[in-house]
Amino acid sequence: MSPEQLEHRRHSLAHLLAAAVMELWPDAKRTIGPAIDDGFYFDFEFSHPISEEDLPKIEAKMREILPTWTAFERHELSPEDAKKEYPGNPYKHELIDQFAAEGQTLTFYKSGTYWDLCRGGHAEGIADVDPGSFKLTKVAGAYWRGDEKNPMLIRIYAIAFETAAEVEKHLVMLEEARKRDHRKLGVELDLFAFSPLVGPGLPLFTPRGTILREQLVAFVWSLMKPYGYARVNIPHMAKSDLYKTSGHWDKFSDDIFHVSSKKTEEAFVLKPMNCPHHTQIYASRVRSYRDLPLRFSEVTTVYRDENTGQLQGLSRVRSITQDDAHVFCRMDQVKDEVRAIYDIITKFYAAFGMPLRVRLSVNDPEKPEAYLGGAEVWDKAVGTLKELLGELGQEYFLGVGEAAFYGPKIDFIATDAIGREWQLATAQLDFVQPERFRLEYMDADNATKRPVMIHRAILGSVERFIGIMIEHFAGAFPAWLAPVQLRLTTVSQDFVPFARALAAEAEGHGLRVELDDSDEKVGKKIRNAALAKVPWTVVVGAKEAEGGELHVRVFGQEEEWVLSKRELFERLKTAASFPVA
């Protein structure tokens, strides 16, 4: 089954879910029900709340109806007739008014006795679908259209795959994901917090969480520096004119935080992205072909006005720290620069044991209004990336319509420890912003030419990547990444002076050390170290204080290390170093 066929099946099953709900609760108001990555959902307004205890009843009704759904019939209705199908349903009426104002044909699709307003994209019929190939999973609240100013609806989620075996496998993965949830582990491991006084979607990183951030950023820089990147620094706000010139304003104006001043009438915004600022560093001097490529790198925060209902832990936030970089180069340098980015990305993800798939994200030729730049520019950019992937011998798949509005990109999709895929790293070509900002360089023939701009990200969003890493490692980070690498636990207060001296010596070797000199019993201290997922724990008692060998408990390992102090530091320094690809 192709991805498109599976999406159509999931969409069709969303209709089946709505049909079952409407039979069980005829006064419910249905809204929308799209297919999603692992299944589908449907949003309803109920007169009386339902819970997950109702899911088996809904599933049973879906399976009862299923054999009668042999086909989907398409019908066209006028706006007036369409509204008659939904008496007292303001949500459907709003959609009908919107679609009619946009000049869209109002289509309804019918299967069995159920029909609904829908743009289409269904399986031919789902009567023969294995009833075990879908399962309702949870009930959640969701604001209508994701806007917290709108009514709260009840969203019913489901998973759906081609076979029942795939559903069972996915359920096992979901259970494992629940145990690894970064929102839970992040609090338990004291990595980050949220405050209602600070605001939703604005995470606060603790000392431990900040170490994690700094280690990730430093590792990326260690991979980038040999390729000639230079650090720059830009402010967190700008005049709105900057984004109007870049083209971002027209595309993302609803997601931009506006800043007002009492002393000027100029309109400012919190920066939603960094690339326009970096163009102005380029534009600040006359550039020659000899200056190129210029590689500007920065780890900085951007701000997006996300709807509160869409915020989720570190996965979706309003303050987004990007490990951002932009390369300005000649056309003949593009392949070498993207190849270097490719090398950095593959080395980075190899260090985490995360396999990569590559997607060449291109424009949708049927929607030219969604992109800046003409067809010739796009053909040239897409062709360049295709040639490079061919030269690298890299397999890839096309993502039509997945391009940025200013150019095509190579997206790297990483697989985590429990089999989930995440689109994180990217290399993007941009011929548009250099044109809009009139960026120039003087070529060898004394002709003025436009540089090519390459956008690249390794981590993507630092916050989102940390959330993924917490779940990938289940909070048990490798030694080089762990906020605390070594915990020293004293048997009694008699051995605290020796433990403090040992901690100072370990810190002198560049290790991150924590001393537990509390009055708790040793057994509890050891359990606490395990709960904190500290990579190495050494219990300090009489033998250790007298210069004896050290017994090292390694997290996740039954067998202890028995080492001299010198051997301990040598082994820990090796394990705590950045991984070498």
Q: What is the domain-level CATH number for residue 206?
A: 3.30.930.10
Q: Do 170 and 89 belong to one domain?
A: yes
pLDDT of residue 581: 55
- 188: pLDDT strictly greater than 90: yes
Give domain status of residue 187, yes or no. Answer: no
Quote the pLDDT of residue 163: 93
Which of 151, 180, 209 corresponds to the end of one domain? 180
CA dist 329 and 337 (Å) reads 8
Of these ranges, 153-162, 257-266, 397-406, the one predicted with the greatest mean pLDDT is: 153-162
Can you point out the beta strands (E) in 113-228? 114-117, 134-143, 152-160, 192-193, 204-205
Q: What is the 3-state secondary structure (H, E, C) of 493-536?
A: HHHHHHHHHHHHHHHHCCCCEEEECCCCCHHHHHHHHHHCCCCE
Residue 209 has pLDDT above 70, yes or no: yes
Write down the catalytic residue from 116, 275, 416, 464: 275
Confidence at residue 556, expressed as pLDDT on a 0 to 100 scale: 87
If asked whether residues 158 and 216 sit together in one domain, one would say: no
> How confident is the prediction for the chain on average, in pLDDT?
92
Answer yes or no: is 417 within a domain.
yes
22 and 138 belong to one structural domain:
yes
Q: Which of 184, 140, 149 is closest to 50 using CA atoms?
A: 140
Q: In which domain, by residue range, is 17 found?
A: 3-180
pLDDT digits (tens, 9 = 90+) for 132-146: 999 999 999 988 988
Q: Are residues 273 and 419 in the same domain?
A: yes
Q: Is residue 17 within 8 Å of 156, Cβ to Cβ? A: yes
Report the DSSP pairing between strands 536-540 and 550-554. antiparallel
The mean pLDDT of 495-513, rounded to a whole number, is: 93
The sign one gets for the Cα dihedral 571, 577, 578, 581 is: negative
* 419 in the same domain as 563: no
Pairing of the two strands 486-490 and 536-540: parallel
Do 107 and 197 sit in the same domain of this protein?
no
- Are residue 446 and residue 499 in the same domain, yes or no? no
Sign of the dihedral through C-alpha 181, 182, 187, 188: positive
Statement: residue 309 has pLDDT above 80: no
Token digits of residue 501: 């001296």
The CATH number of residue 526's host domain is 3.40.50.800
Q: Is the pLDDT of residue 96 over 90?
A: yes
Last residue of a domain, one of 441, 472, 503: 472
Residues 88 and 198 in one domain: no
- The closest of 37, 31, 38, 39 to 13, measured between CA atoms, is 39
User: Angle 334-350/207-224 helices, nearest 10 degrees?
Assistant: 140
In a domain, 419, yes or no: yes
Catalytic residue (choose from 63, 304, 335, 573): 304
Condensed to tens digits (0 to 9), the pLDDT of residues 539-557 reads: 999 988 888 889 999 998 8
What is the three-class DSSP state of 175? helix
pLDDT of residue 261: 82
**CA-to-CA dists, residue 327 to 77, 241, 298, 359, angstroms:** 52, 23, 12, 21
Please indicate, yes or no, if residue 153 is contained in any of the structural domains.
yes
Q: Which one of the listed residues 409, 464, 512, 525 is annotated catalytic?
A: 409
409 is catalytic: yes
Question: Is residue 479 assigned to a domain?
Answer: no
- Tell me how far apart the alpha carbons of residues 94 and 307 are, in angstroms, rounded to a whole number: 20
Considering 324, 411, 416, 516, which one is annotated as catalytic? 324
What's the pLDDT tens digit per position in 55-82? 999 999 999 999 999 999 999 999 999 9
Phi, psi of 74 (to 5 degrees): -95, 135
User: Does residue 480 lie within any of the structural domains?
Assistant: no
322 assigned to active site? yes
Distance, CA of 8 to CA of 6 (rounded, Å): 5
Structure tokens at 194: 């949220």
Catalytic residue flag (residue 326) = yes
Active-site residue among 11, 29, 295, 326?
Answer: 326
pLDDT-based confidence at 457, cuts 50/70/90?
very high
What's the pLDDT band for 343 if we cut at 50, 70, 90? very high
- Tell me the pLDDT band of 374, cut-offs 50, 70 and 90: confident
Q: Taking the CA of residue 18 as centre, how many other CA atoms within 13 Å lie in the half-sphere pointing to its CB?
A: 28
Same-domain status, 171 and 316: no
Q: Kindly state whether residue 230 falls inside one of the protein's structural domains.
A: yes
Q: How far apart are CA 325 and CA 32, in angstroms?
A: 39
Which tokens in the block code for residue 469? 């890493």
Catalytic site includes residue 241 = no
Q: Is residue 282 domain-shared with residue 343, that is, in the same domain?
A: yes
Last residue of a domain, one of 411, 441, 472: 472
Q: How confident is the model at residue 18 (pLDDT cuts 50, 70, 90)?
A: very high
Give pLDDT tens digits for 377-432. Answer: 788 888 889 999 999 999 999 988 888 877 889 999 999 999 999 999 999 998 88
Number of alpha carbons in the 13 Å side-chain half-sphere of residue 577: 9
Confidence (pLDDT) at 107: 94
Q: What percent of the chain has pLDDT over 90?
A: 76
Q: Is 304 a catalytic residue?
A: yes
Q: For the chain, what percent of residues have pLDDT higher than 70? A: 100
Q: How many CB atoms lie within 10 A of CB 187?
A: 13
Q: What is the CATH number of the domain that holds 141?
A: 3.30.980.10
| 131 assigned to some structural domain | yes
pLDDT surpasses 80 at 372:
no
Mean pLDDT of 296-308: 91
Q: What is the pLDDT of residues 272-290, one digit of tens each?
A: 999 999 999 999 999 999 9
**DSSP helix/strand/coil, 247:** coil
Same domain, 323 and 427: yes
At residue 311, the pLDDT reads: 83
The total number of structural domains in the chain stands at 3
- Catalytic residue, candidates 215, 322, 428, 485: 322
Q: In terms of domains, do 275 and 413 share one?
A: yes
Catalytic, 104? Answer no
